[in-house]
Amino acid sequence: MIAARTRRALLYMASIVGGLAAWEFAAQGVSRIVVAPPSAVAVSLFDGVSSGRIPQAFAASLGHMVPGLAIAFVIALPLSLALGRSRTVADYLDPVLSALYAIPPVAFVPIIIVWCGFDFGARVTLVALMSFFEMLFTFSAGARNIPPGLIDVGRSFSARRFSLIRSVMLPSMLPFVLTGFRLGVIRAIHGMIVAELFFRAVNLGQIMKRDAAHFDSAGVLAIIVVLAAFGLATNESLKTLEWKMLSQKHA
C-alpha cells in the first residue's frame, strides 16, 4: 500500500516536472510577448505574491465563487432527489434542464447583466449557473441508483419521508454527491474567472486584463498557474476526503 502511494506520488511529481520542462523548452527562441517560459512566470508570480497583490485578488475572487457554489449545491441536492426518485418529475423537467445544459453558460451573460448588473450579484449568478448542472445530474444519478431494498427497509421501520432521506437516501448517494461536488467546484473555478473577465474586470480578472494590455504574458500566465494550482489542490483534497469518507462508510 505504501509502495503504491509512493509510486503514485513520484509519477505525480514527474508529470508536473516533465510538463514544466517541456514548457520551458518550447518557449526557448519564442518572444516572451507570445509565450513566457516557466522561469519568467515564476518571477512574476513571486513578485505578485510577495507584494500581496495576487493573494488579495484571489481572496476577493473566492468571495463570489464560494456563495455561487453554495447556492448551486443547495438547489441541486433536493432537486436531484426529486428527479432521481420521481419518474413524473424527471419526465416533466428533463427536457427543460437538458436544453438549458446544452447552452454555453457564457451565452447567458447578456441576460445576467440585465438582471444583476455587472458586479457581485452577476458574478455569483454565473458561478452558480456554471456549477449547477454538473452537480444536479451527478446527484440525480445517485438518487436513481439507491437500492430499492434500502428504501423498503426504511419504510418497514415506519421511517417518515425526511428521516428516510436523511438516514437512507443521502448516505446511499454519498459517492455521487462527493463526485458531483468535486466536479461542481472545478466548474465554479471556471465561472469565477469567466465572471471577472466578462463582467466588470476585478480581482484576478483585472490583473489578467491589465497584464494582457501591457503584453505581459508572464503576468497573465502567472494567474493561470494560480488557478491551475488551486484547481489541482482542491481536486486532490476532495478526492482524498472522498476516499476517507467512503472507506469509513464501508469499514
Residue 223 within any structural domain of the chain:
no
Residue 184 within any structural domain of the chain:
yes
* pLDDT given for residue 11 in this prediction: 86
Most confident of 94-98, 145-149, 241-245: 94-98
The C-alpha cell that represents 88 in the structure block: 413524473
Tell which phi-psi region holds residue 96, choosing left (phi > 0), alpha (psi between -120 and 50) or beta.
Answer: alpha
Q: Which domain holds residue 186?
A: 56-200+245-250
Asked whether residue 251 carries a pLDDT value surpassing 60, the answer given is: no
Residue 66 within any structural domain of the chain:
yes
Report the domain count for the chain: 1
Residue 7 within any structural domain of the chain:
no
Contacts of 152 (CB under 8 A, 6+ apart): none
Residue 32 within any structural domain of the chain:
no
**Of 17-21, 40-44, 67-71, 209-213, which gets the smallest average pLDDT?**
17-21
Residue 24 within any structural domain of the chain:
no
> Exposed e or buried b for every residue in 69-82, given b needs 16+ CB within 10 A?
bebbbeebbebbbe
CATH number of the domain bearing residue 187: 1.10.3720.10
* pLDDT given for residue 155 in this prediction: 61
**Of 9-18, 52-61, 177-186, 206-215, which gets the smallest average pLDDT?**
9-18
Measured CA to CA, the distance from residue 241 to residue 84 in angstroms comes to 25
Q: Give the residue-averaged pLDDT of 63-74.
A: 96
**Of 54-68, 155-169, 171-185, which gets the smallest average pLDDT?**
155-169
**Mean residue pLDDT across the chain:** 88
Residue 177 within any structural domain of the chain:
yes
> Grid coordinates 445576467 are at which residue?
112
The C-alpha cell that represents 247 in the structure block: 472507506
Residue 43 within any structural domain of the chain:
no
Q: Give the residue-averaged pLDDT of 67-96.
A: 93
Tens-place pLDDT, residues 137-174:
999 999 988 877 666 666 666 566 677 777 778 888 88
* pLDDT given for residue 105 in this prediction: 86
Tens-place pLDDT, residues 101-130:
999 888 999 999 999 988 899 999 999 999
